[in-house]
């Protein structure tokens, strides 16, 4: 159901599987028959976990019991007995413009040193992460010919199987073209590695290695932090929140609204500069 009807991504399916298998192990394999008392006991075993972990596990189980009830496999749904800790939506880590500049200076330094396939690949990866706001999984699994030199956008199938239009800057297209010229013509992936494509773990390592070389604390950066930087810097520049939602591929605009943490002074400036009544004469009293 999660794969066919909800269109859940592979990582989401894997997380659900882990949570359901863990709960089933705690209940000696009798998860499907668990009553409210058993679920309260299960919830107590999560006391040492972070609120976000408890919320995720409880959500997976509620979905599971809801499915059983809808399919007629159970007459009741005991999932109300599960804890509801809620989640505190934390602000994303953000890189300043200066930090991003240092990353690109280091990329340029390496290209000046040698336009090797490894350096060209690094340039393409960083340009797409910061310039298009791609998720790590989306980036490493890009098909070889999806990004074209003459096309300033790409149609991408992202999280949950949803398609979206992703902007691709002139810089990113140039970086991809230079790197793609080093690939075999029959390559299936833009970033191949072995028999498949570059892994998310290796991408994470590449980004942190670059940060260290650029004089940035590697603990402050990851592929997802560069996606955050893409969103935050666009919003600071006056991007529309709905447009940003589309570019990021968020199903719910509430997820996109986390980026409105930009400082209040900047928001006031945007209103004063961009509101349609800025140049209108004041109303007479």
**Catalytic positions, written as ranges:** 135, 159, 224, 227, 250, 259
Q: Report d(CA 139, CA 166) in Å as an integer.
A: 12
Bridge partners of 197, per DSSP, are 192
What are residue 237's phi and psi, to 5 degrees? Answer: -85, 0
Tokens (6 digits) for 116: 């090797």
Tell me the C-alpha distance between 224 and 221, whole Å: 8
| Residue 253 structure tokens | 């605009």
Alpha-carbon distance of 207 to 200, in angstroms, equals 11
Question: 3-state DSSP call for residue 157?
Answer: strand
Largest CA distance in the chain: 76
Kindly tell me the burial class for residue 221, based on how many C-beta atoms sit within 10 Å of its own C-beta (0-12, 13-18, 19 or more). Answer: buried
Nearest to 61 by CA among 11, 19, 15, 4: 19
CA distance 180 to 147: 10
Which residues, 6+ apart, have CB-to-CB distance to 236 below 8 Å? 262, 266
CB 93 within 8 A of CB 105: no
Give Cα 58 distance to the centre of its chain.
22
Angstrom distance (rounded) from CA 161 to CA 68? 24
């Amino acid at each position: 159901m999660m794969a066919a009807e909800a269109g859940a991504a592979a990582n989401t399916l894997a997380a659900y599987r882990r949570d359901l298998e863990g709960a089933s192990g705690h209940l000696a394999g009798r998860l499907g028959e668990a009553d409210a008392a058993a679920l309260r006991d299960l919830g107590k075993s999560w006391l040492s976990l972070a609120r976000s972990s408890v919320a995720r596990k409880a959500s997976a189980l509620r979905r599971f019991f809801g499915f059983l009830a809808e399919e007629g496999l159970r007459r009741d749904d005991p999932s109300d007995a599960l804890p509801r800790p809620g989640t505190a939506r934390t602000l994303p880590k953000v890189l300043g413009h200066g930090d991003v500049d240092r990353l690109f200076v280091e990329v340029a330094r390496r290209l000046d040193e040698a336009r090797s396939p490894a350096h060209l690949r690094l340039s393409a990866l960083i340009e797409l992460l910061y310039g298009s706001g791609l998720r790590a999984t989306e980036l490493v699994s890009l098909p070889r010919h999806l990004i074209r030199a003459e096309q300033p956008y790409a149609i991408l199938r992202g999280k949950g199987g949803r398609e979206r239009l992703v902007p691709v800057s002139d810089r990113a297209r140039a970086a991809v073209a230079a790197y793609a010229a080093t690939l075999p013509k029959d390559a299936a992936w833009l970033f191949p590695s072995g028999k498949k494509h570059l892994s998310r773990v290796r991408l994470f390592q590449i980004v942190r290695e670059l940060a260290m070389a650029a004089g940035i604390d590697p603990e402050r950066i990851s592929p997802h932090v560069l996606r955050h930087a893409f969103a935050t810097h666009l919003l600071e520049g006056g991007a529309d929140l709905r447009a940003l939602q589309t570019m990021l591929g968020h199903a719910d605009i509430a997820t996109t609204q986390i980026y409105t943490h930009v400082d209040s002074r900047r928001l006031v400036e945007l209103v004063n500069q961009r509101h349609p009544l800025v140049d209108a004469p004041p109303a007479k009293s």
